[in-house]
Structure 1
Amino acid sequence: MPLLEIEHLKKYFPSPRGTVHAVDDVSFSIEEGKTMGLVGESGCGKSTLGRTIIHLLDSTSGTIRFEGKDVTRPSRKELKALREKMQIIFQDPYSSLNPRLTIQDTIVEPLKLSGRYTPGELEAQADRLMDLAGIEKRFRFSYPHELDGGRRQRVGIARALALKPKFIVCDEPVSALDVSIQAQILNLLMDLQEEYKLTYIFVTHDLSVVRHISTNICVMYLGQMVETCPTQELFDHPYHPYTRALLSAILSVDIHKKNNRIALKGEITSPINPKPGCRFAQRCPYATEACKNPVELHEVTPGHFVSCCRVREINDL
């Protein structure tokens, strides 16, 4: 049984011009101990989806199941228990930390709120979490502004692990870091996953990063999922035109490799009260009148789902 199941999840925001469809009818599931990568351009709804799943935002409609239980509309008591099992690592390792709290106070804050630890036990727990995240003890009484970006993100990871969660949303946790530090944080997350059987949603726009850490990948475009499959399958056989364009933008270290970058043209469809049909159609070189009709994810090869009415014609499956 999957640890997390999402069915027809929607998150809409009101605006003066209409309703913004930030997340629109998204469905998927994640097995325990696996990583689901969420990729797409900025503004496609990746972070909103992650925050809606862990109830930092209330969903408009749809179903969220965690450990087989419907947690879409939890009571206050249920939500407190649920948030111990579902955590988030934020994108900006500076703004996500309280500048007035020391590193130790930041890490033990969730433990204090849980009410399960005595003052004497908190320091021991802080030591344990700092060891897990690779934070030197000499930074115990430092403040966030005294640390570099990599150490600040390690503090965020330690805080997320404080209550021993099963599921963590990693909201672009390495995008604000140097490349060398990115590798350290990615390896740390993978080591923690292996040791504690953690389940991740890894939000990113960097396909090279998501390839390194993810088990499966979901490609999002303007609030909808357009392609999902195992990671290597996506890189070997991308079917959706949008996925192909994203993959073509990856830089190669091979100077002899020909760059076949796909430049997308046309206007981006507005997420405010979008019309039925494919939202990528205005930028798709293969679009026809048929693309104006509603289209859903469908399985084109075993375990590979694509939202495109012309996928078989385009790819000659």
Structure 2
Amino acid sequence: MALVEIEHLKKYFGVAAGTNHAVDDITMKIEKGKTMGIVGESGCGKSTLGRTIIRVHDATDGVIRLDGKDITNVQGKELRAVHEKMQMIFQDPYASLNPRMTMEATVREPLEQARRFSKQEINEKTQEIMDRVGIEERLRLAYPHELDGGRRQRIGIARAIVLNPQFIMCDEPVSALDVSIQAQVLNLLMQLQEEMQLTYMFVTHDLSVVRHISDDISVMYLGQLVETAPAKELFRRTLHPYTKALLSAIPSVDIDHPMQRVQLKGEITSAINPKPGCRFAARCPYATSTCQEPQKLEEIEKNHFVACCRVREIND
């Protein structure tokens, strides 16, 4: 059953040159207790999509549903309730923390703002969550500048889960961390998901990371989805030319079967006042005049959707 559903979601920003189509007509479902990975180049709209879903940004058009309820335009107390159910883990753990608050105060704050817990309940819940994310007792009165990146991100995770949300938008939560620390944080996220039945949207440009944590993966290009499939299926049978180029960039340690790098040429189409048709066409080696028509996600194989009018002939 889907926890989060979006239909024809759009988020546009007015800029001096026109209108930036940051998120343009995206439809998807995220199943309860699962992780949807969102990948693509920097600037493709991944983070904007996640922030629009959790109502940090107001949608320009479309529908957002949480557990079957339309939350697209809720305001006031209803929006406050939505934000308790939908939380976010930020990319930069240092910038996302208040430098004047201790780690313990940071985790307590959402409980205090909820205004429905006693002081004893707040103390107990704070200690329980900090234990759960692995913050040592001796560090709980420390300030952000006194901790390393991994511990700061653990506090960011603790703050996100302390109100027991249903959905968490993870905005590149390990990209600012060392590789060894990345693995610890990813394992913590997966453990918490199993224990608390959390649903994640995991935004990243690191395909190795998204392969490790995701159940399903959606690939974005300039505000639109170009391919979506179960994670194993996407890596087993990649169909869209852009996804193939992305996967070819993953470093390989297999000297007997090195990855054949796909070199993309051509200019990146602007997301400001884009023309109809495939936005990847200017860089696609298979583009023809038919690619000037609007592209729609089509189910090519079971649960494997691709937005490319030539996908069948390319992959035959």
Matched, 1:237 2:233: no
Kindly provide the CA deviation profile for residues 153-207 of structure 1, in whole angstroms up to 9, marking residues without a partner as x: 0000000011000100000000000000000000000000001110000000011
Matched, 1:288 2:279: no
Contact (CA 8 Å) 2:217, 2:234: kept in 1 or not? yes
Write out aligned runs for 1:58-73 (5 A).
Answer: 58-73=58-73
Contact (CA 8 Å) 2:154, 2:185: kept in 1 or not? yes
Write out aligned runs for 1:300-315 (5 A).
Answer: 300-315=300-315
Separation in structure 1 between the aligned mates of residue 101 and residue 75 of structure 2, nearest angstrom = 30
Q: Which residue of 1 aligns with 2:132?
A: 132
One-letter amino acid matched to 1:93: P
SS of match in other structure, 1:92: coil
One-letter amino acid matched to 1:240: H
SS of match in other structure, 2:2: coil
Separation in structure 1 between the aligned mates of residue 259 and residue 69 of structure 2, nearest angstrom = 48
Separation in structure 1 between the aligned mates of residue 163 and residue 20 of structure 2, nearest angstrom = 35
Write out aligned runs for 1:78-157 (5 A).
Answer: 78-157=78-157
Following superposition, which runs of at least 4 residues in structure 1 exceed 4 angstroms of deviation? none
Kindly provide the CA deviation profile for residues 96-140 of structure 1, in whole angstroms up to 9, marking residues without a partner as x: 000000000000100000012222332222111101111111111
Q: TM-score scaled to structure 2, two decimals?
A: 0.99
Q: Which moved more, 1:148-157 or 1:249-258?
A: 249-258
Write out aligned runs for 1:5-84 (5 A).
Answer: 5-84=5-84
> Any stretches of 5+ residues in structure 2 without a counterpart?
none
Contact (CA 8 Å) 2:252, 2:258: kept in 1 or not? no
Separation in structure 2 between the aligned mates of residue 179 and residue 123 of structure 1, nearest angstrom = 33
State the number of aligned residues: 316
Separation in structure 1 between the aligned mates of residue 86 and residue 259 of structure 2, nearest angstrom = 41
Separation in structure 2 between the aligned mates of residue 126 and residue 5 of structure 1, nearest angstrom = 31
Kindly provide the CA deviation profile for residues 201-243 of structure 1, in whole angstroms up to 9, marking residues without a partner as x: 0000011100000000000000000000100000010000000
Separation in structure 1 between the aligned mates of residue 188 and residue 162 of structure 2, nearest angstrom = 16
Contact (CA 8 Å) 2:297, 2:307: kept in 1 or not? yes
Q: CA deviation at 1:251?
A: 0.6
Separation in structure 2 between the aligned mates of residue 261 and residue 56 of structure 1, nearest angstrom = 37
Q: Which residue of 2 aligns with 1:181?
A: 181
One-letter amino acid matched to 2:166: K
One-letter amino acid matched to 2:161: L
Q: CA deviation at 1:259?
A: 3.3
SS of match in other structure, 1:181: helix
The alignment yields a C-alpha RMSD, in angstroms, of 0.7
- How high is the sequence identity, in percent, across the aligned residues? 67
One-letter amino acid matched to 1:239: L
> Any stretches of 5+ residues in structure 1 without a counterpart?
none
Q: Which residue of 1 aligns with 2:299?
A: 299
SS of match in other structure, 2:97: coil
